[in-house]
Structure 1
Amino acid sequence: MKRIFLAAATILLGASMSFAQEQQPELPPKVRPMFGQVAKTDAEQKADEKFLTSCDKSFESRTEASNFFMERGWEFMNEGQVDTAVYRFNLAWLLNPDNYNTYWAFGVAEYNRGNVGDAIGMFDRALKYQPNNSFLLSDIGSAYLQQYIADKKKKNLKQAAALLDRSLKADPNNAFAMANLAQVHFHNKKYAEAWDYLHRGRDLNIMSLDYNFLSDLMARMPDPKGMFRLETEAPAPAN
């Protein structure tokens, strides 16, 4: 479910980023990654100790407990309850700071809050544990792509391309990496290559298709395969 959620969120991110980058009320530490990375009060530390002791009694190991709270977090994330999800991810992180999935999840949460720079930082933490994870690499590549769309800095587009290439080397059938590479080629004005990657990604997984991007691409170059057409285009004559 994680991959489906992030792929769908990518479509909405462009419209939400400008809003998210405006001054927003600061979230309480419990719904910020790693509890906001701020010092805890004595009462909060005692509450953590009580929670850990309870988990030690209920689970065979803290690794198992951490994975349990990760699953609960993804359930809330896929329902769009990002704050509640992050709190569960925080509990998973508290139980096992070496659970790379917590950093990956924090990255997804920050990505969907529009905090792309923070998302990249969290994805990078996860990447230290899983340097050849294709889906993680494609998520980081997607984040750099969105960063480029926001700031138009070529270095971010180049970084996105490099990470997405690494993703496909790790898994040649990663449809989401292909979909994002289609956008990289689009921004480099290589529309034929963009169509190629878009079709390859779609053939592997229809969920990788971003219809907003599809419209932008059709406006620059007709689909070479004729599968997609703008509404204003006349249908091909019958034989």
Structure 2
Amino acid sequence: MKKLLLAATALLFCATTAFAQEQPGTPHPKVLPMFGNVPKTEAEQKADEKFLSSCDKSFSSRTEASSFFMERGWEYFNEGQIDTAVYRFNLAWLLNPDNVNTYWAFGLVENSKGNTADAIGLYERALKYQPKNSLLLSDAAGAYLKLYTENKKKKDLKKATAYLDQSLAADSKNAYALFNLSQVKFHEKKYADAWDYLHKSREIDMRTLDYQYLANLMAQMPDPTGLFKGEEQ
């Protein structure tokens, strides 16, 4: 009970910090990955020391504390409170810079904001810790695939394919990887293969299905299985 109370106290400490903007229209470093990678003032450094000291008293290790703040971050992320989530991820990173999940989370946030290149950098930083993590590989591949749709550079499609191959080698049932591979085949104009991978993905997890992509694929080639039918059918 004492440990839980101390943990709650540590959480309350960070929750009371305001996200004031440095300048109008400029996000506070607290809500940017790794605090925006900007030098901290003496006051900010002292605040960090106070926070770390509080966590040292609240948890058995900084690794445990880091995991605690990651969990709180995901809760806020899933509620759509992105700035608050990133701040929690930042605290988790401050506690344990080797926590792979912090870089993964930062990548997801940047990807959701449309900062694809930044997201890729963060995913690949996470991959240095877990190079065979199937889900992480498929997220990185998805970002490269998104980048390809933006600039049409073949090197990005090639990189996405390489990551997807590694992802499926680690877990052949990764529905997200299969769906992304379907999109790769679509861009390569291999529509039969695109349908095959789409169905494999759908059979594992219906949540991977993107109806805009489905419409685009049907416009190029009818579903060979007949499961999905266009208006003319």
TM-score, normalised via structure 2 length: 0.88
Structure 2 residue runs of 5 or longer lacking an equivalent are 1-23
Partner of 1:130: 130
Structure 2 Cα separation of the partners of residues 53 and 67 of structure 1 = 17
Deviation at 1:209, TM superposition (A): 1.0
Offset from partner CA, 1:113-133 (integer Å, 9 cap, x none) = 110000000001100000000
Deviation at 1:26, TM superposition (A): 3.4
Cα drift, residue 25 of structure 1:
4.0
Q: Secondary structure at the match of 2:128?
A: helix
RMSD: 1.1
The higher relative CO (CA closer than 8 Å, separation ≥ 6) is in 1
User: Deviations along 1:28-60, whole A, 9 cap, x unmatched?
Assistant: 110100000000000000000000011111111
Task: Report the Cα offset of residue 210 of structure 1.
Answer: 1.2
> Structure 1: where are the runs of 5+ without partners?
1-23, 235-239
Residue-by-residue CA offset, 1:197-229 (whole Å, 9 max, x unaligned):
000000011111111111110111000011111
Q: Distance in 2 between matches of 1:94 and 1:77?
A: 18
Q: Secondary structure at the match of 1:224?
A: coil
Q: How does 1:15-164 map to 2 (within 5 A)?
A: 25-164=25-164
Q: How many residues align?
A: 210
Which of structures 1 and 2 has the bigger CA Rg?
2
Paired amino acid for 1:233: E
Q: CA separation in 1, counterparts of 2:215 and 2:162?
A: 25
The reply on whether 1:233 has 2:226 as its aligned counterpart is: no
TM-score (normalizing by structure 1): 0.86
Q: The residue matched to 1:69 in structure 2 has which SS?
A: helix
Q: Distance in 2 between matches of 1:79 and 1:229?
A: 35
